[in-house]
């Protein structure tokens, strides 16, 4: 039984419209900055220092049905880093630390997203800080409340791998090499998990 040209065209148009809606839904995903946070914990002489970045942005294209096709990118304005002390905050933008005049942003670009089940995912990608790029694997947990999807996780980093704290600050007895980056990203427009 052959299809009429009209039926074939109608199916094509409906299929294209459905694809357009799917792509449109992904394009409408956005970060809710007022409900999001990127923080870090470092240790100076054994004492934990809690800091955060006040300015960041994310571009998300997350497909719940096919997470492997998802793309995640974010940028962090490293000049917005704060440890809550005026003296310390004045040092962070300088060359030994973030060198903000030369490297104003850190960035992450995903290369793959793998579902682990139960709202847990592994996001592989390239993290670039202070001009140094490294491949990282980021564990992410997604939860939903109403229309908001929250992505949380902790990424352990070695600060010296990214040249953060150079010269006399490279001494890890003063400032530990290990840094924990903690994030909570509130997203709008992600489909039901």
- Kindly state the tokens that stand for 176: 């530990």
- Model confidence at 189: pLDDT above 90: yes
131-166 pLDDT, tens digit each: 999 999 999 999 999 999 999 999 999 999 999 999
- pLDDT for 19 equals 41
CA–CA separation, 190 vs 88, rounded Å?
38
CATH number of 30-188: 2.40.128.110
33-80 pLDDT, tens digit each: 999 999 999 999 989 999 999 999 999 999 988 999 999 999 999 999
- Model confidence at 11: pLDDT above 60: no
Identify which has the larger pLDDT, 6 or 179: 179
- pLDDT for 26 equals 44
- Kindly state the tokens that stand for 128: 């670039």
Mean per-residue pLDDT for 81-94? Answer: 95
CA–CA separation, 152 vs 123, rounded Å?
12
- pLDDT for 72 equals 94
* Domain coordinates in residue numbering, the chain: 30-188
Find the DSSP H helices in the chain: 5-27, 86-91
Minimum mean pLDDT range among 4-13, 25-34, 173-182 = 4-13
- pLDDT for 143 equals 97
Q: What is the pTM (predicted TM-score) of this model?
A: 0.83
- pLDDT for 1 equals 42
Query: Alpha-carbon torsion 151, 152, 154, 159, what sign?
Result: positive
Strands of the chain, DSSP E? 30-31, 37-44, 47-53, 56-61, 71-77, 81-82, 105-117, 120-129, 132-145, 148-158, 178-188
Average pLDDT, the chain: 88
- Model confidence at 6: pLDDT above 50: no
Give kind and range of the element (H or E) at residue 135.
strand 132-145
- Model confidence at 3: pLDDT above 70: no
- pLDDT for 5 equals 38
For residue 78, the Cα-to-chain-centroid distance in whole angstroms is 14
């Amino acid at each position: 039984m052959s299809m009429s040209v009209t039926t074939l065209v109608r199916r094509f148009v409906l299929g294209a419209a459905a694809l357009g809606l799917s792509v449109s839904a992904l394009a409408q995903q956005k970060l809710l900055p007022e409900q999001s946070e990127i923080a870090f914990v470092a240790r100076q002489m054994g004492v934990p220092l809690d800091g955060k970045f006040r300015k960041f942005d994310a571009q998300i294209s997350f497909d719940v049905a096919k997470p492997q096709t998802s793309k995640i990118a974010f940028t962090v304005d490293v000049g917005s880093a704060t440890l809550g002390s005026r003296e310390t905050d004045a040092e962070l933008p300088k060359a030994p630390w973030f060198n903000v005049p030369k490297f104003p942003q850190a960035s992450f670009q995903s290369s793959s997203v793998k579902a682990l089940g139960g709202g847990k995912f592994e996001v592989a990608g390239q993290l670039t800080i202070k001009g140094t790029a490294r491949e990282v694997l980021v564990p992410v947990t997604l939860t939903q409340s109403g229309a908001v999807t929250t992505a949380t996780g902790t990424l352990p980093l070695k600060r010296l791998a990214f040249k953060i704290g150079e010269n006399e600050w490279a001494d890890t007895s003063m400032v530990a090499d290990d840094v924990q980056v903690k994030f909570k990203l509130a997203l709008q427009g992600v489909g039901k998990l």
